[in-house]
Structure 1
Amino acid sequence: MTTAPARPALRATSLRDGAVRPEDRPARFVFLLLNDFTFLSFASAIEPLRLANKYVGRAIFDWHLVSENGATARCSNGIELNVQGGLDELTRDDTLLVCGGIDVQANTSKAVLNWLRREARRGVTIGGLCTAAHTMAKAGLLDGKKATIHWENQDSFGEEFEEVALSKSVFVIDGNRYTTAGGTSSIDLMLTLIADAHGKDLANVVADQLIYSSIRTDQDTQRLSIPTRIGVRHPKLSQVIQLMEQNIEEPISPSILASDVGMSTRQLERLFRRYLNRSPKRYYMELRLQKARNLLLQTEMSVINVALACGFTSPSHFSKCYRAHYDTTPYRERGTMSARLSV
């Protein structure tokens, strides 16, 4: 007969502000499911809570699902979930997590924004999973705060919410505001909250149950490193690409890029041809066009402002380059044939 390993002693449940929660009252998380929310981000947040309860042997966490209409909520993979309520008043001890996904702008209604503002005024802790940082920022809940959002939405978020200190971290905790980058980053946030409330031993046990071998912190970035992303481990090539990514609005000439990393322009050309099968100029152009496409699809910026934000001073040149790369014009990408450039 085998003996089960001893469970670590759990400390009193405490919040980040130092308050103590009674042992017999589970901490409640309320999940607001916006339409087209990302199922993975949602599941990655709720499963650590379930496993923590299972290991402790009692409910130390509770959760409640709500939607704007109080009926069903549809996620981006087409699955519909039943919820337990609508935009009702929460208790101050609740933690509200907004679950976003695709088309977050269209799925962020005035009713949702007004509800978030009301609950924020009442002191409720509010977080955003995946793209829901956009919803929180739209409600003014992230003004003057640090936040993160999925890397694909960073360009549009940065253009629209300049008052928010945007981070590339997998998650950010700034006071009573939480944001995550999407995907499995919800796991990292929840493990951190579990560790804060009940100790690292419990968080580690939950991570093991999830087969999650490396718990990330708010210092970890959400995207792969440049060498891993491009499949090439060449320090000077990585340095140049980083410079390009950091200077989209005002592109740097190949000669200056080469000089900055201590090589000649011809050496830089050979480096890009050898490892990426394209010129530095071509690679830089693709980065700029990728950002332009994100802005066209995710913001209401005019085409001319998108062009300027991506380093194109000539609208006609922008349109020509865009069409050559994506086989469509910026106007059609935006979804209107009659759009005109305006300053």
Structure 2
Amino acid sequence: MVKQTIEEKKTGPKRFGFLLLPNFSLIAFSSAIEPLRMANWVTGDECYETLLISHDGEAVASSFGVQTLVDCSLNDMPTLDALFVCGASPVARTGNEAVIGWLRKQRHANIALGGIGTGSYLLACAGLLNNYRATIHWWDIASLKEDFPNTQVTNNLFEIDGNRYTCSGGTAAMDMMLFLIGKEHGMDLAASISEQFVYERMRTSEEQQRIPLKARIGASQPKLIEAVTLMEMNIEEPLSTDDLAHHVGVSRRHLERLFKKHLQTVPSKYYLDLRLEQARQLLRQSDKTILQVGLACGFSSASYFSTAYRNHYGITPREERKRDVESNPDSEPVMLGRSSYVAS
């Protein structure tokens, strides 16, 4: 039976349940649940109540073998505002038929449903992500797209689409929870929680997972991987295509063929995209001036940087920073020490 402290909820704090599946990712689960606890601590109020759930009410082992006690089984679960499925790592394609069947019955329930990491796959199996935007860990993106064509699969860190909340797992679970907390209680609280965890910045749902190049093209192209690694290590002082070819031990023409065949671009364009991506992150995250950002990303002048940025993103660096501030009017770019604590 469910304990008295978690009886049916009518009013009070938001109640979030976490359905732990065998071999669930411990880091993703912790990243999701800890911001809720910290929200209560920072405010001195009970903003959230958390409930741990397993299929049968028994303890569940994480992927690292840590046994986690739960509060109840699915059959004894009280009313929740949201239920998050914490999936196995890697995704378990069998053994969760009963859970999927139970989830399928929640199609019309008045509850938000979330997937943390590979939990998104189970939601999709239950038909709960049809015609929704959703994401999953990069390792399983191709499978989710192939197996569930009616789901709009993205490469984003997390997706909030109506009452469907999905994230890619790992620390992205914290970004998703900070977003939900900010939406409910304001970004000052979310920023204070971020600071408590020494979490340098809160990433947005628009930011994409970084899929390792080896995962995209396989390990059979070591020269290409080496060239991209050199690019990533030399953002502030870019290497020429000839220098890259020399360092990896191939001709310039051969290197260009590798980029064209496997990445559908030329080395100089790929390199420029990397530098502009780094610049966009700095514009959103740091207090550096636009000129300092440009120089840090290998652009010799502010005008050159502004032109390249506008050609790539459709807006200038100044407009990018202005838009970021306007979208988050309560704070400047979220860095440690930026926001004040919410008074308890």
After TM superposition, the score normalised by the length of structure 1 is 0.61
Structure 1 match to 2:151? 164
Which consecutive aligned stretches of 4+ in structure 1 deviate over 6 angstroms post-superposition? 224-229, 281-287
Ranges in structure 2 where 5+ consecutive residues have no aligned partner: 1-8, 214-224, 264-344
Structure 2 match to 1:152? 139
Q: How far apart are 1:93 and its partner, in Å?
A: 4.5
Contact 1:33 1:100 in 2 (8 A): yes
Structure 2 match to 1:216? 203
Q: How far apart are 1:276 and its partner, in Å?
A: 4.8
Distance (Å, rounded) in 2 between the aligned partners of 1:138 and 1:277:
47
Distance (Å, rounded) in 2 between the aligned partners of 1:225 and 1:131:
18
Distance (Å, rounded) in 2 between the aligned partners of 1:167 and 1:116:
22
Distance (Å, rounded) in 2 between the aligned partners of 1:75 and 1:285:
41
Match of 1:25, as an amino acid? G
Match of 2:186, as an amino acid? G
Structure 1 match to 2:38? 51
Ranges in structure 1 where 5+ consecutive residues have no aligned partner: 1-20, 239-266, 288-343
Higher mean Cα deviation, 83-92 or 93-102?
A: 83-92
Counterpart check, 1:37 vs 2:37: no
* SS of the residue 1:134 aligns to: helix
Q: How far apart are 1:94 and its partner, in Å?
A: 2.2
Contact 1:32 1:96 in 2 (8 A): yes
Counterpart check, 1:191 vs 2:166: no
The two structures, once aligned, show a CA RMSD in angstroms of 3.2
Distance (Å, rounded) in 2 between the aligned partners of 1:91 and 1:272:
60
CA-to-aligned-CA distance 1:168-197 (integer Å, 9 cap, x gap): 110000100011011100111111111111
Q: How far apart are 1:90 and its partner, in Å?
A: 4.8
Distance (Å, rounded) in 2 between the aligned partners of 1:136 and 1:197:
24
Contact 2:16 2:80 in 1 (8 A): no
* SS of the residue 1:119 aligns to: coil
Distance (Å, rounded) in 1 between the aligned partners of 2:191 and 2:22:
33
Q: How far apart are 1:130 and its partner, in Å?
A: 0.9
Structure 2 match to 1:321? none
Structure 1 match to 2:169? 182
* SS of the residue 1:120 aligns to: coil
Q: How far apart are 1:225 and its partner, in Å?
A: 9.1
Counterpart check, 1:71 vs 2:52: no
Distance (Å, rounded) in 1 between the aligned partners of 2:173 and 2:122:
17
Structure 2 match to 1:232? 231
Distance (Å, rounded) in 1 between the aligned partners of 2:262 and 2:59:
41
- Using a 3 Å threshold, how does the CA distance of structure 1 residues 208 and 106 change in structure 2: closer, same or farther? same
Percent sequence identity over matched residues? 34
Q: How far apart are 1:274 and its partner, in Å?
A: 3.7
Distance (Å, rounded) in 2 between the aligned partners of 1:111 and 1:275:
55
Higher mean Cα deviation, 89-98 or 47-56?
A: 89-98
Q: How far apart are 1:58 and its partner, in Å?
A: 2.3
Distance (Å, rounded) in 2 between the aligned partners of 1:231 and 1:118:
51
